[in-house]
Amino acid sequence: MSLIYDEYGRPFVILKEQQAKARVKGLEATKANIIAAKSISQIVRTSLGPKGMDKILVSPDGDVTITNDGATIMDRMEVNHQVAKLLVELSASQDDEIGDGTTGVVVLAGSLLEQAEKLLGRGIHPVRIAEGFEKAAEVAIKTLGEIADTVPFSSDNLDPLITTAMTTLSSKIINVDKRKMAEIAVNAVVGVADLERKDVNFDMIRMEGKPGGSLEDTELVNGIIIDKDISHPQMKKTIKDAKMCILTCPFEPPKPKTKHKLDISSREAYEKLYQQEQDYFKQMVQQVKDSGANLVICQWGFDDEANHLLLQNGLSAVRWVGGVEIEHIAIATGGRIVPRFSELSEDKLGKAGVVREISFGNTKERMLVIEDCANSNAVTVLVRGGNKMIVEEAKRSLHDAMCVVRNLIKDNRVVYGGGAAEIACSLAVSSYAETIVGVDQFAIRAFADALDDIPLALAENSGLDPIQELAAAKSRQMKENNPLIGLGLNGDAGEDGSRATNMKEIGVFETLVGKQEQISLATQVVKMILKIDDVITMGQYQ
């Protein structure tokens, strides 16, 4: 700030230097935000691709999770920086919308921020960088639409869906059995899908896990599995043509309120009370029998007396069934949830072909299977694994594969994996940059470089020479004008020493909507971060 006098002796202030300082401070804040967000991206970068590494996540109470799922890693990390949290939300958005590509979207956002940092160092304004990125993203998304292939499938030919699910599972812990797991994921989704309307009801797919056995023992059951057993060891364990009453009322006499007091002063009074209780139990059991039910599903517990009476009357029962499971059983079997015994009637019973109890190994672990449900084609995937951590990771992996299959049913266009789609987009964006005059050209070229970072990371994580593999794939795409050439990470090296190969031939697909969403979401978040020049906390200017 300078104080200067005019020719009449009046002072005035020149703020030119202050404005320059403020601008420098704003750029420093933007760079600090970029560094914070990049550090998050670097953490998940090593988990990208079929040879990506896993992370061990330890919760505050010592629970251990082993995963390479980007959304899970981001969700369970403790992130304190405000801007870094935007990348956590970015990964969650990709997971909610698409279900797959949660690692790739964060890696792409980190690469864009790295390129933006270089441009800021050259003195280009953050807003111009953001505008250039937006133009480049439009070109990339348009290019994806042009190079996409349509995969025809039908209820008789599910191979394209299975191949795409296998690509998703290649980077997961269950890739050893990826063919079987992909078939389970596809059959589960197709089982609850309306192929004519291209609609999938995900609520009808349940996922249950039971440690023990191996991943190969994972199976798909056309029905519902709940982690409960028949309440009495002598009750029938298999009920054919099951008619079940679904109760949310306790199977016991009403208890007196806490402010009331009951004094029993004689044996006669006790006998009368006991008889009254017995009559109450008998009335409840009779109401169940009168409705025609042969299986009782109860949300609450019941004591041994009620259990014994049910056994004597030839009724099987399951107790302490959770609220979510109760609702799922009611939807699938066409039953009504009954809150009072007096409301029980035959038209409120749920129906299923068979209900059976299954046991595992030589342990006392048991589960209840409800098959051939009357009202819907509900399915359950029973995941097995050596321990709880493997089971949980397998469930997350199968969920990703199911999301990909669902997206493919809604829109059956695919692009090719192994970095092929990103390289094709990078070449298209570079060509577009040559037609632009002005500062935006630098940002558009930087966007093309950022797209190259995905195949670079794939090659790095596979232990290959990233520059050589990317250069070879890019060179072949340009020479052959073929957007299907990508990094064949599992293949043998060719004459030029690289593994670049045609992704269509080896069957590596990714859904078009998933890839387009990745580029769109990453660009939006990077634009938002570039436009932040200061952080104000608790109403105080920092």
- Which whole number is the average pLDDT over 287-300? 89
Q: With a cut of 90, say whether residue 132 has pLDDT above it.
A: yes
Mean pLDDT of all residues in the chain? 84
Question: Closest Cα to residue 112, out of 88, 75, 137?
Answer: 137
* Residue ending a domain, choose from 376, 394, 424: 376
Catalytic option among 46, 103, 218, 333: 103
361 and 446 in one domain? no
When mean pLDDT is compared across 130-134, 261-265, 315-319, the lowest value belongs to: 261-265
The CATH number for 251's domain is 3.50.7.10
The reply to whether 196 falls in a domain is no
Distance CA 459, CA 447 (A): 20
Quick one: which H or E segment has residue 225?
A: strand 223-226
241 and 140 in one domain? no
230 and 361 in one domain? yes
* Residue ending a domain, choose from 326, 353, 376: 376
Catalytic option among 229, 400, 452, 453: 400
Here the tokens at position 93 are: 């958005």
What amino acid occupies position 474?
K
| pLDDT bracket for residue 9 (50, 70, 90) | low
- Which whole number is the average pLDDT over 156-176? 83
The reply to whether 181 falls in a domain is no
Q: What is the pTM of this model?
A: 0.81
Per-residue pLDDT at 18 = 46
Does residue 102 carry a catalytic annotation?
Answer: yes
Per-residue pLDDT at 20 = 45
The reply to whether 397 falls in a domain is no
Catalytic option among 46, 69, 100, 164: 69
295-298 and 316-318: which strand pairing?
Answer: parallel
At 168-184, the pLDDT tens digits run 888 787 778 888 999 99
Here the tokens at position 286 are: 């009779």
Domain span including residue 59: 15-150+416-541
* Residue ending a domain, choose from 320, 345, 376: 376
11-14 and 2-5: which strand pairing?
Answer: antiparallel
DSSP code at position 299:
S
The DSSP bridge partners found for residue 318 are 297
Most confident of 41-45, 131-135, 189-193, 337-341: 131-135
Q: With a cut of 80, say whether residue 279 has pLDDT above it.
A: yes
Here the tokens at position 242 are: 């099951």
442 and 358 in one domain? no
The reply to whether 210 falls in a domain is no
Percent of the chain at pLDDT above 90?
17
**Radius of gyration in angstroms for the set of CA atoms belonging to the chain, rounded to a whole number:** 31
38 and 116 in one domain? yes
- Which whole number is the average pLDDT over 438-442? 87
The reply to whether 388 falls in a domain is no
The reply to whether 513 falls in a domain is yes
Here the tokens at position 70 are: 């980007």
Which residue, chain included where needed, has tokens 């009954």? Answer: 338
Helix residue spans in 209-314 (DSSP H) = 267-290, 304-312
Does residue 103 carry a catalytic annotation?
Answer: yes
When mean pLDDT is compared across 22-31, 117-126, 196-205, the lowest value belongs to: 22-31
519 and 428 in one domain? yes
| pLDDT bracket for residue 531 (50, 70, 90) | confident
Per-residue pLDDT at 141 = 94
Report the number of distinct structural domains present in the chain: 2
449 and 350 in one domain? no
The residue that leads in pLDDT, 265 or 519, is: 519
The residue that leads in pLDDT, 539 or 92, is: 92
370 and 291 in one domain? yes
49 and 131 in one domain? yes
The CATH number for 123's domain is 1.10.560.10
Catalytic option among 30, 46, 102, 523: 102
Distance CA 26, CA 36 (A): 16
| pLDDT bracket for residue 344 (50, 70, 90) | confident
The reply to whether 389 falls in a domain is no
The reply to whether 490 falls in a domain is yes
329 and 233 in one domain? yes
Distance CA 72, CA 90 (A): 12
**Three-point CA angle 72, 78, 82, nearest 5°:** 110
**Three-point CA angle 231, 235, 241, nearest 5°:** 105
334 and 228 in one domain? yes
234 and 329 in one domain? yes
